Amino acid sequence: MADVFRALDDETRRLILDELVARNGQTLFEICGVLVSRHGVSSTRQAISQHLAVLEEAGLVVTERRGRSKFHYFDGGPLTAITRRWPATGRDPS
């Protein structure tokens, strides 16, 4: 569970999740391209690869290898643990 929060604590990784939700099953190079074009993220391919590794380790991204390409899919399953641990409602200062 700590991996999920660590993975979410980075703007680039959050943007990657956004792009995977918008278009699922992208490759590393596709993600690099869309991060540069739609957001001003100017990171190297290795940086994005490491981000994807963190997201995959957290279970937020599932990969599927076909040939020399690796497709990345979003998985929001681990997110349910957050609102299951703490109520997402307001406070109660009596």
CB count in 10 Å sphere of residue 19:
19
Q: Which residue has the tokens 């660590």?
A: 6
Where on the chain is the footprint of a second copy (CB under 8 A)? 2, 5-6, 8-11, 14, 17-18, 21, 24-25, 62, 64, 71, 73-77, 79-80, 82-83, 85-94
Q: How far is the CB of 38 from DNA (least distance, A)?
A: 16
Instruction: Say how far apart CA 87 and CA 11 lie, in whole Å.
Output: 24
Determine the distance from the C-alpha atom of residue 30 to the mean position of all C-alpha atoms in its chain, rounded to a whole number: 14
Q: What, of a second copy, DNA, none, does residue 40 touch, CB below 5 to 8 Å by kind?
A: none
CB count in 10 Å sphere of residue 59:
17
Q: What, of a second copy, DNA, none, does residue 76 touch, CB below 5 to 8 Å by kind?
A: a second copy
**By the criterion CB under 7 A, which residues form the site for DNA?**
6, 9-10, 12, 27-29, 42-47, 49-52, 54, 66-70
